[in-house]
Amino acid sequence: MQLDLQGKAPFLDARSRIFLAVLAGAATLVPILFLATPASSFLHMPAYLVALFGKYLCFALLALSLDLVWGYCGILSLGHGAFFSLGGYAMGMYLMRQIGTRGVYANPILPDFMVFLNWKELPMTWWGFSSFSYAMLMVLLVPGILAFCFGWFAFRSRVTGVYLSIITQAMTYALLLAFFRNDMGFGGNNGLTDFKDLLGFNVQADGMRAALFSISAIALGIGYLIARAVVTSKFGKVLIAIRDAESRTRFIGYRVETYKVVVFTLSAMMAGVAGALYVPQVGIINPSEFSPANSIEAVIWVAVGGRGTLVGAALGAVLVNFAKTWFTGALPEFWLFALGLLFILVTLFLPKGIVGTMSGLTIWPRRKPPQARPQPTPAE
């Protein structure tokens, strides 16, 4: 972390300004290349790339939220995919309520899968999701409340290290099993799909695709600013102290569990926003998103990009998912082997990740300390 002349980390260092500038450029340039250039031009960006890059940005926001708790507080969560998925389901439930009579069974209230399963009335968990504002509130509250309750019991019990990682993984696996059940009322194995409108606009329209991409880039920028504000504040210094020496931090009077609960809840809410933006761009949300493998893969993104750098987490998410897109298209049977090999190589040769290693190689000019003048030898 770079320091200013007073020894404090600036809110926006050079790396942050470059990152935000790239996001602003992408949010502006990609829609122009998609909408304003003719399809025959080599500058034209096809619709599938816009959706693909938008998905990468959502994954980058998820990685950023994970880096906030792992890189700066030492909480290795293997369950952040659960918060991502809950945010996605909240958005999916709103989109399903917008279908109305345009569904297969033309029921104005019940989604098609409920009609097929002979549901007679809308479950209480679906009440209010016809309102966009209510759905966005749930995108934040549902992951946030789950993280707060989980953290309250886990951190107050002083569960740390690998044990905490295991129970976060167990949490997301339990949610996976629960959402697979048809009687839960969330679409069972098929999940939620066949979305039509978002705020009255066709989700498949080119303009909506471009808008979702730009909103994803803006959300990533806002998430980065929030995370940066946290880690450069006095609160962030305590988080780093907890990461490096939790017992000492507790000994000098800080309520460690309170700091952990707050940052864990904030991180979960950021992951929920990422999931909410992900769903309308891919067109489906199902219980497979709760898979523990997805949460583990997010940890690999952060490790590759650079733990404790924020920018590195986002960069790692984009690079690894770009590699996944290429591998699963060219050599699909080798992707998992390549992912495991990548994690091993990064652990052995780039323990600080790409951004962390590059920062360590950067040579900054340093002022030479003043040398003491030689004292004159007294004459004999």
What is the tens place of the pLDDT at every residue in 57-110?
999 999 999 999 999 999 999 999 999 999 999 999 999 999 988 988 888 899
Q: pLDDT tens-digit profile of 214-261?
A: 999 999 999 999 999 999 999 999 999 999 999 999 999 999 999 999
In this predicted structure, the answer to whether residue 335 has a pLDDT above a threshold of 90 is: no
- Contact partners, residue 312, CB within 8 Å, separation at least 6: 67, 302, 305, 306, 353, 354, 355, 356
In this predicted structure, the answer to whether residue 173 has a pLDDT above a threshold of 70 is: yes
Hey, where are the domains in the chain? 14-360
Q: What percent of the chain has pLDDT over 90?
A: 77
Q: pLDDT tens-digit profile of 343-355?
A: 898 888 888 899 9
User: Pairing mode, if any, of strands 201-202 and 284-285?
Assistant: unpaired
Q: How confident is the model at residue 376 (pLDDT cuts 50, 70, 90)?
A: low
Question: Position 77: which residue type?
Answer: S
Q: What percent of the chain has pLDDT over 70?
A: 93
Q: pLDDT tens-digit profile of 108-158?
A: 899 999 999 999 899 999 999 999 999 999 999 999 999 999 999 999 999
- What integer best gives the mean pLDDT of the chain? 91
Number of neighbours of residue 229 by Cβ within 10 angstroms: 13
* For range 30-55, the mean pLDDT: 93
Q: Is 326 helix (H, G, I), strand (E, B) or coil?
A: helix
User: Pairing mode, if any, of strands 201-202 and 192-193?
Assistant: unpaired
Q: Is 209 helix (H, G, I), strand (E, B) or coil?
A: helix
Q: How confident is the model at residue 280 (pLDDT cuts 50, 70, 90)?
A: very high
Q: pLDDT tens-digit profile of 184-223?
A: 999 999 999 999 999 989 999 999 999 999 999 999 999 9
pTM: 0.91
